[in-house]
Amino acid sequence: MGIVDKHIVITGGASGLGLELLKQLQDENVISIIARMSTGLENLRRSFDRVQIYEADLADLKSVERAADLLVRSEKKIDILINNAAVQYTPHFLDENFRYETIKREIDINFTSVCSLIHLLLPNLLQPNPSMIVNINSGLGLVPKTSSAVYCATKGALNILSQSLAYQFEDTNIEVKQVFLPLIDTAMTKGRGKAKISVEQAAAQIIRGMQSSGPNIDIGKVKLLRLIQRLSPRLAQNIMKAG
């Protein structure tokens, strides 16, 4: 699927990877952003006057529904939906600073909002021409690590959801793809890990992958992780557990 003259919806496009995808796609496409109110969103309004912005707190289903309703009524079709927004909390359940209330927020942003938006925007995705749903996942959706247990669980759920939706949409115009990311250099990963790839590199590889065949777009070290998992699932588990 070529990515020119498309209407592309990106969640969480006010910062990080979402913003970089916007920058690399906006010259030849129409972009709509779904994101919560923030300084980054205000900066985006000033910098990209052609971008349509729909404010929503993705942890609040009613807010998601309002934004989706506005988008569906404003735009005739959606060619590509990129479910990019995510949040990650690192404390262990045993840690004193673990906050109970973050459980629901993490699940709602990382998983429930994805399910909701796919359902709510489906009328605009179903069309005579090819369209695409791109779910931004993580290597942690394949093999979990010790910390961020809820985050790992949401990404595992996203993996299964994407596979099932691909079956459901098999006889329609909609293609479902997943992007499996390694650690990338964003505000969310500040102070964690080494050998991160830049958002510029990640976005460029995602866009290339969207134009290629196959349901999975493996970025960077995820390619090695998938190979290790295939050859020795126990080794893959041990590597990620210690990571």
Q: What is the pLDDT of residues 12-43, one digit of tens each?
A: 988 899 999 999 999 999 999 999 988 688 88
What is the rounded distance in angstroms from the CA atom of residue 196 to the CA atom of residue 226? 18
Who contacts 152 (Cβ-Cβ below 8 Å, separation ≥6)? 140, 141, 144, 145
Average pLDDT of every residue of the chain: 93
Rounded to 10 deg, the angle between the 113-125 and 149-168 helix axes is 20
Question: Residue range 91-105: average pLDDT?
Answer: 95
Among 11, 32, 24, smallest CA distance to 210 is for 24
Express as a percent the part of the chain with pLDDT over 70: 95
- Cβ atoms of residues 94 and 88 within 8 Å: no
Sketch the domain layout of the chain as residue ranges.
7-242
Question: Residue range 86-103: average pLDDT?
Answer: 95
- Amino acid at site 148: S
Which segments of the chain are extended strands (E)?
Answer: 7-11, 30-35, 52-55, 80-83, 131-138, 174-181, 216-218
What is the rounded distance in angstroms from the CA atom of residue 199 to the CA atom of residue 187? 11
CATH topology of domain 7-242: Rossmann fold (3.40.50)
Would you say residue 227 has pLDDT above 80?
Answer: yes
What is the rounded distance in angstroms from the CA atom of residue 26 to the CA atom of residue 44? 12
Q: What is the pLDDT of residue 212?
A: 93
- Cβ atoms of residues 79 and 8 within 8 Å: yes
Q: Is the dihedral of CA 26, 29, 30, 32 positive or negative?
A: negative
Taking only the tens place, the pLDDT of each residue in 125-184 is: 999 999 999 999 999 999 999 999 999 999 999 999 999 999 999 999 999 999 999 999
Pairing of strands 174-181, 216-218: parallel
Coil, strand or helix at 184: strand
Cα dihedral 88, 198, 206, 224 in deg (nearest 10): -80
Instruction: Give 189's pLDDT tier (boundaries 50, 70, 90).
Output: low
Rounded to 10 deg, the angle between the 222-231 and 233-242 helix axes is 130
Instruction: Give 223's pLDDT tier (boundaries 50, 70, 90).
Output: very high
Among 230, 242, 234, 217, smallest CA distance to 21 is for 217
Total-model pTM: 0.94
Q: What is the pLDDT of residue 185?
A: 85
